[in-house]
């Protein structure tokens, strides 16, 4: 049998994300696939850097948490196709989370992954679910 966690523990694990990243973390959007892990050097072309709202994560419920105060918006600094994201603390020194980007079925959902320089970006979903229910 695999380990199972209560909903309360799963919610607490998600709440730790916002505590660790702090207020106003930076979301970097890159082309291509994500690096092997958060400690690896960035890959792809940096297409945009957005500052997330101070309260960027909704309260976790049923072991899941989505973005708060959304949609998050910003503008691309250069053109390309967004393929992955990296989420850093506000000092932009540590990558704490990374994942795929798409218009559906990805870790982070955008209105469009194809962007031009100065084009607006709107992030409509960033739903994360903890496992082992």
CB 24, CB 52: distance < 8 Å: yes
pTM recorded for the entire structure:
0.92
CB 71, CB 58: distance < 8 Å: no
Give the residue extent of every domain in the chain: 7-129
**Per-residue pLDDT reduced to its tens digit, 44-94:** 999 999 999 989 999 999 999 999 987 888 999 999 999 999 999 999 999
**Per-residue pLDDT reduced to its tens digit, 31-40:** 999 999 999 9
Q: Return the bridge partners of 123, or none.
A: 72, 110
């Amino acid at each position: 049998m695999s380990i199972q966690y209560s909903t309360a523990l799963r919610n607490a694990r998600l709440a730790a994300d916002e505590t660790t990243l702090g207020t106003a973390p930076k979301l970097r959007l890159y082309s291509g696939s994500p690096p092997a892990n958060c400690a690896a050097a960035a890959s792809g072309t940096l297409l945009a850097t957005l500052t997330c709202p101070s309260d960027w994560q909704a309260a976790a419920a049923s072991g899941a948490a989505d973005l708060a105060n959304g949609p998050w918006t910003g503008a691309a600094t250069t053109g390309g196709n967004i393929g992955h994201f990296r989420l850093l603390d506000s000092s932009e020194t540590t990558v704490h989370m990374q994942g795929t980007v798409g218009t559906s079925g990805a870790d982070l959902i955008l209105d469009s992954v194809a962007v031009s320089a100065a084009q607006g970006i709107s992030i409509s979903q960033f739903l994360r679910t903890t496992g082992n229910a």
